[in-house]
């Protein structure tokens, strides 16, 4: 579940997080979030693709399988044959429409010594991994813009003669020493080539192509390039920073800076599996509440505790509300500030393994736009939606605490969505003290966001569902109403007077 940051080239770096392309994030060891995998083999569509090449790759491909976790890759069109690869158009459940580059090692065109571009069998892995390094190295910042998104390098030891048994671990162990029969690369599908052959371009296209090629050209001279390539390890797939070694590490495409909070920076991004997401990011070397005199001071060692508290809310009492009232939660991640580089620094990475994390991140579903900041005037229909949303939250025993219009969102379907649960607390609907706290927040929602008159907002405006699970609900509400006639303390009178001066009498 790791991902690599892909920063949009046109996005200016903002906020305190010093976000940049190439940062690798892994699921935090203390995180309890686990995304369910889908253990199904690759299969072909019922309509056989038309093969224009000379090899019978359709027969070989139809039974092809990859290692778990597995997803159904629907192959529906044969594109072309290259010097080394066959090219297929397919649909991946996570990445959408993709190009499958496949080489069948027992039979590929440039395997003969007299071939112009002869590649012996033992060098195929080097050729494939070289392309892998390019996409994750010098081309990482232009993926999805100038070059296709890269979705990893894969291998298979199944020649199609054996059916995949997902429950047979012993059989997989026995076959562990077998040689690979296939290598495959998955890439984003980007329309059609302008070739083959020479193509006449007008004056508008020529400068554009030249400028794009110069923009990503390697700045190293020939000797530096040769040394760089010679330093690359042939066993690249086994290094922990390779997406190919982690079943296809995801690329998180960050494309919009949203805002800064007390602790987190908020970015909007696209995840290949989760779609439109919010990246909540804190850079531990520079965050506002690190100053001891700050109102909401949080020492560095407590950042992870704050993040884990929020995770417990999402995976606990908010679990059933994800995707409807609150955003879907996609895990807590951390980074040591390592960029994905391919320069043979494996020993250095091992020595730095015990260093502290530089970044903490939370991924959430993108759930719309806030109605705030500030006061938001709402008609009776939207007030009812707002109050019903908080009633639903409270009936799950959650006290939001962060009563603010910035934390109330409206999604594309016109639903109220609530966010920011770092300071939230929980209670039981069978305890009077907890119910009072939930009812108090229900009234605060009506006065702070709904702009109801504070003098007219009492517990009577709340539905009986708040106290219906108490041992004596009728007796409880009678005592609450009896206390209503008691004189207010001086601090409450001062607040009421201030609110009257600030907002006036709100009907």
The answer on 137 and 59 residing in a single domain is yes
pLDDT at 279: 96
Place of tokens 């007219």: 456
Decide if 213 is inside a domain.
no
What are the pLDDT digits (tens) for 119-166?
888 888 888 888 888 888 888 878 877 888 888 888 887 755 554 443
What are the pLDDT digits (tens) for 182-214?
889 999 888 767 666 555 566 665 555 444 444
- Which two tokens mark 507? 């009907």
pLDDT at 476: 93
| Cα separation, 296 vs 290, whole angstroms | 9
The answer on 401 and 353 residing in a single domain is no
Decide if 436 is inside a domain.
yes
The answer on 382 and 357 residing in a single domain is no
- Which two tokens mark 26? 């892994």
Backbone angles phi, psi at 272, to 5 degrees: -65, -25
Domain boundary among 366, 386, 421: 366
Buried b (16+ CB within 10 A) or exposed e, 103-141: bbbeebbbbeeeeeeebeeeebbeebbebbbebbbbbbb
The answer on 455 and 383 residing in a single domain is yes
Domain boundary among 366, 382, 398: 366
Decide if 253 is inside a domain.
yes
The answer on 149 and 3 residing in a single domain is yes
Decide if 207 is inside a domain.
no
* Three-class DSSP labels, 141-208: HHECCCECCEEEEEEECCCCCCCCCCCCHHHHHHCCCCCCCEEEEEEECCCCCCCCCCCCCCCCHHHH
pLDDT at 432: 94
Angle at 383 between CA 314 and CA 482, to 5 degrees: 90
The answer on 384 and 303 residing in a single domain is no
Decide if 495 is inside a domain.
yes
3-class SS of residue 438: helix
Beta strands in 93-191 (DSSP E): 96-104, 150-156, 182-188
Q: Domain with 491 in it: what CATH number?
A: 1.10.510
pLDDT at 80: 81
- Which two tokens mark 225? 């390039």
Decide if 199 is inside a domain.
no
pLDDT at 213: 45
The answer on 137 and 183 residing in a single domain is yes
The answer on 356 and 245 residing in a single domain is yes
pLDDT at 310: 95
Counting as low any pLDDT under 70, the low residues of the chain are 1, 9-17, 35-70, 114-116, 159-178, 192, 194-248, 338-355, 374-376, 485-486, 488, 503-507
| Number of domains within the chain | 2
pLDDT at 50: 41
The answer on 278 and 381 residing in a single domain is no
Domain boundary among 337, 366, 395: 366
Non-local CB neighbours of 141 within 8 Å, separated by 6+ positions: 6, 7, 9, 21, 22
pTM of the complete model: 0.57
DSSP-derived letter for residue 278 is E
The answer on 454 and 496 residing in a single domain is yes
For residue 505, count CB atoms less than 10 angstroms from its CB and return exposed for 0-12, middle for 13-18, buried for 19 or more: exposed
For residue 172, count CB atoms less than 10 angstroms from its CB and return exposed for 0-12, middle for 13-18, buried for 19 or more: middle
Domain range holding 462?
A: 370-503
pLDDT at 498: 79
Place of tokens 């962060």: 402
The answer on 156 and 41 residing in a single domain is yes
pLDDT at 260: 84
The answer on 260 and 125 residing in a single domain is yes
Decide if 281 is inside a domain.
yes
pLDDT at 9: 66
pLDDT at 132: 87
Decide if 203 is inside a domain.
no
pLDDT at 352: 43
| Cα separation, 27 vs 195, whole angstroms | 43
């Amino acid at each position: 579940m790791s991902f690599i940051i892909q920063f949009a080239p046109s996005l200016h770096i903002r906020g305190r997080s010093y976000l940049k392309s190439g940062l690798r994030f892994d699921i935090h060891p203390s995180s309890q979030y686990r995304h369910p995998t889908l253990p199904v083999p690759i299969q072909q569509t019922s309509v056989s693709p038309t093969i224009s090449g000379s090899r019978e790759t359709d027969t070989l491909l139809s039974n092809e399988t990859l290692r778990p976790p597995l997803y159904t890759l629907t192959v529906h069109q044969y594109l072309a044959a290259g010097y080394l690869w066959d090219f297929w158009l397919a649909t991946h459940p996570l990445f959408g429409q993709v190009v499958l580059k496949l080489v069948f090692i027992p039979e590929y065109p440039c395997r003969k010594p007299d071939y112009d571009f002869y590649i012996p069998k033992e060098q195929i892995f080097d050729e494939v991994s070289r392309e892998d390094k390019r996409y994750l190295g010098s081309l990482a910042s232009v993926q999805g813009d100038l070059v296709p998104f890269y979705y990893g390098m894969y291998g298979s030891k199944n020649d199609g003669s054996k059916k995949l048994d997902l429950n047979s671990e012993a059989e997989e162990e026995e076959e562990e020493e077998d040689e690979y029969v296939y290598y495959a690369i998955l890439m984003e599908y980007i329309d059609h080539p302008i070739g083959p052959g020479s193509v006449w371009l007008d004056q508008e296209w020529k400068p554009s192509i030249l400028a794009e090629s110069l923009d990503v050209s390697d700045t190293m001279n020939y000797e530096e390039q040769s040394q760089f390539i010679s330093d690359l390890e042939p066993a690249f797939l086994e290094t922990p920073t390779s997406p190919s070694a982690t079943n296809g590490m995801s690329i998180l495409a960050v494309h919009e800076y949203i805002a800064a909070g007390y602790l987190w920076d908020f970015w909007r991004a696209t995840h290949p599996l989760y779609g439109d997401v919010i990246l909540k990011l804190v850079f531990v070397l520079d965050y506002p509440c690190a100053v001891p005199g700050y109102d909401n001071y949080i020492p560095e060692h407590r950042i992870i505790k704050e993040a884990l508290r929020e995770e417990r809310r999402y995976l606990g009492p908010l679990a059933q509300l994800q995707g409807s009232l609150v955003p879907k939660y996609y895990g807590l991640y951390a980074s040591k500030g390592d960029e994905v580089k391919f320069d043979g620094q494996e020993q250095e990475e091992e020595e730095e393994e015990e260093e502290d994390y530089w970044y903490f991140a939370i991924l959430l579903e993108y759930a719309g736009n806030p109605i705030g900041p500030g006061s938001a005037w709402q008609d009776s229909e939207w007030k009812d939606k707002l109050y019903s949303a908080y009633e639903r939250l409270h009936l799950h025993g959650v006290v939001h605490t962060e009563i603010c219009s910035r934390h109330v969102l409206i999604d594309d379907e016109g639903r109220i969505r609530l966010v920011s649960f770092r300071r939230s607390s929980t209670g039981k609907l069978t305890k009077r003290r907890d119910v009072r706290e939930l009812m108090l927040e229900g009234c605060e929602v009506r006065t702070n966001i709904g702009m109801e008159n504070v003098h007219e907002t009492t517990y009577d405006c709340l539905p009986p569902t708040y106290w219906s699970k108490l041992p004596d609900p009728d007796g409880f509400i009678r005592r609450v109403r009896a206390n209503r006639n008691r004189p207010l303390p001086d601090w409450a009178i001062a607040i009421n007077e201030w609110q009257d001066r600030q907002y006036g009498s709100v009907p």
